[in-house]
Amino acid sequence: MATQVDKIIKKSKELMGESYLGSNGMTYCQRFVRHCYEAAGIYGNVESAAIAGNKWIVSKSKTNIPVGAAVYFTNNNKNGHVGIYIGNGKMRHVWTKGKVCETSIDVAKGYRGWGWQGGKKPTGAGTAAATIGDTEIYTYDNEGQKTSFNLDKIITATIPEFNKAEKRTAVGADNNKGITLKIIHENNIYDATKLCTDSIQLTTKRKANPAKLTFKIARDAAEAGSIEFYEGDAVALMCDDLGMFWGYIFSKQRTKEQIITVTAYDQTRYLKNKETYCYSKKASEIIKMICDDFNLQTGEIADTEYVINERIEDNNTLWDIIYNALDMTNIYTGKYYCLYDDFGEITLKKYEDMRQPVALC
């Protein structure tokens, strides 16, 4: 029975020579990859390869790329480039004159990494190995080669490595009064508060969901204010000197009235990715391991003390892996913990340490 990878590769071959050149002269490489994955029953639609890479890159490694994976490049333009890896250093992609062809992956510039279109790993794709104690567990890729456990992630590789205090310094100012919205693009920090055409909405949930920030900016106002920003840029929401939200732009949508709706999430959004882990660790150690593997910044991580012995989490979301560990810790210790993003730092605290000396009447 054909796997999803088989169907993706077959569709990419069927589309060889097809044109993905738009009437505006643009090439639609992301559309080609989407069509191939849709032939395998995997769906996910974004505007460009750059956005797809921001959402779905799994690893920056250029070795042991799984057959059928989407390979992402900057290609020296804001829309980026993407193709489908077919093995032996080759990919099928939209290239010369906007037609689908087969070339070396080295023809495109600025390799970013590989991932799965739509964020879903297709059946038949090579999987990573893991270890329990001193025993190595191997799997094999589609070319029959034994693979090793690769945790070389680039999901959030563009996140600047500075701490919470430095973030506040970067976006803070003596005249910050009330609610302020800052957008950080490259070396520029823009105050977008007065450019918002509607209310700024910050949505948080108690468990297993990232904080979400949405706001709207008129395109002409942004251009008049000389503000430039793209998907992946950082956003900070402040109340006076208090950091309320630090996250990253995931999408920009423009209406026919030229109003840009911007959606940003904090870094716990990346915990929706799936992975396989085999471990004998404390829940706090698992959180640190996951954050390190996915290049997520951490703050205070409380020691959960209880060691969970030889547990396997197979292709589960990172949220589920973490909360399974915290639930087991609660069963055996009776202690509750809260995981959240504290202005750009993933934080774990005991409930009892979060109590405030406030009485509600």
Per-residue pLDDT tens over the stretch 64-110: 789 999 999 999 888 999 999 998 889 999 998 899 999 999 999 99
pLDDT at 245 over 50: yes
Average pLDDT over residues 173-199: 81
Q: Bridge-partner residues for 104, per DSSP?
A: 90
Task: Give pLDDT, residue 105.
Answer: 94
Cβ atoms within 10 A of the Cβ of 158, count?
13
Average pLDDT over residues 185-196: 84
Average pLDDT over residues 159-177: 61
Task: Give pLDDT, residue 158.
Answer: 38
Task: Give pLDDT, residue 335.
Answer: 95
- 272 versus 1: which is more confidently predicted? 272
Nearest Cα neighbor of 315 from 119, 52, 66, 177 is 119
Q: Tokens standing for 164? A: 């919470």
Indicate whether this model's pTM tops 0.75. no
Task: Give pLDDT, residue 8.
Answer: 95
- 31 versus 161: which is more confidently predicted? 31
- 218 versus 177: which is more confidently predicted? 218
Give the span between the Cα atoms of 99 and 79, in whole angstroms: 17
pLDDT at 163 over 80: no
Q: Tokens standing for 299? A: 């703050």
Average pLDDT over residues 148-157: 29
- 28 versus 185: which is more confidently predicted? 28
Task: Give pLDDT, residue 153.
Answer: 26
pLDDT at 216 over 70: yes
Task: Give pLDDT, residue 339.
Answer: 96
pLDDT at 165 over 90: no
Amino acid at 243: G
- As a whole number, the mean pLDDT across the chain is 83
pLDDT at 132 over 90: no
Farthest-apart Cα atoms in the chain, separation: 72
pLDDT at 127 over 90: no
Average pLDDT over residues 322-333: 96
Angle, CA 263 vertex, CA 160 and CA 114 arms, to 5°? 55
Give the span between the Cα atoms of 104 and 343, in whole angstroms: 42
Task: Give pLDDT, residue 24.
Answer: 78
Question: Which of 55-59, 124-128, 323-327 has the lowest average pLDDT?
Answer: 124-128
Give the span between the Cα atoms of 234 and 297, in whole angstroms: 14
Q: Bridge-partner residues for 347, per DSSP?
A: 340
pLDDT at 265 over 90: yes
Domains annotated on the chain, with CATH: 4-137 (3.90.1720.10), 164-265 (2.30.110), 270-354 (3.55.50)
Average pLDDT over residues 200-229: 87
pLDDT at 141 over 60: no
- 140 versus 173: which is more confidently predicted? 173
